[in-house]
Structure 1
Amino acid sequence: MLRRLLAAVAGIGLAAGVSFGLFQVVPLRYALAVGAGLGAGVFLVVDGSAGAGEGWVYHQVRPVEARIRDFLWAAGLGTALGLTLAWVTVVVELGRIGAGILVVVGSVLLANLVFLYRRPKYEEALEES
């Protein structure tokens, strides 16, 4: 429970900080895309569970290098989809609130799906070792 709380604080804090910092130089929808993608990646890797089991199993079985790769894949693809959706919202002239919701939800959803895809059945690996 404590790991999940720390993961949420780290992910939301990073997302808010990056989004606010980038918002000073780029439009909000693009800043939200980058912030949401990176924040989701941090949350997923620090928590380790992604709703599929206990996070301690992930951290016990998965080596540090693999966790870094998991972060890069989840955050990278989440950010990429967020930036693509941000561009689409400009093309279709969606408002700021709708664009923000679409970009954040899309980024977080894809980051979660990528993390779940990369996360093998660690419970089985733990039983074998």
Structure 2
Amino acid sequence: MSSPGFWIEALGLFAACLTTSSFLPQAIRIWRTRSARDVSLVMYLMMAAGNTLWLVYGILIGSVSMIFANATCLLMVASVLVLKVRDMLQPNLLVEIVAAEAAVGAPGQPVNSNEIPATPRKPPAAA
């Protein structure tokens, strides 16, 4: 039989896999939608700081599961943080579109094609 320490460490590694991979769906969603607008910057900064401290703690006590979990989790949290900061630094696309359309239209003229009055259509010719 194996020592109890092995099974305790195995339990820790399994827990680490579950909690660490929980950040992956958020990172994938941000990557696919190209938007991190709804992600809390403060939450991810706090999580990164906490993971860093847990990683240091794991190194100090020599726990493989803590080192693995927190190093991996820190990488995932950092990737979400990078995407969030990148999103925050990009100008608002909607504001850019509206500004570009407003610059094209003369005063009193429609700003976009939805405001242009439709030209009357001729009825189709009878067969």
Task: Quickly name the TM-score band, shorter chain normalised.
Answer: 0.3 to 0.5
Per residue, is there more helix in 1 or in 2?
Answer: 1
TM-score normalised by L of structure 2: 0.33
Higher-Rg structure is: 2
TM-score normalised by L of structure 1: 0.33
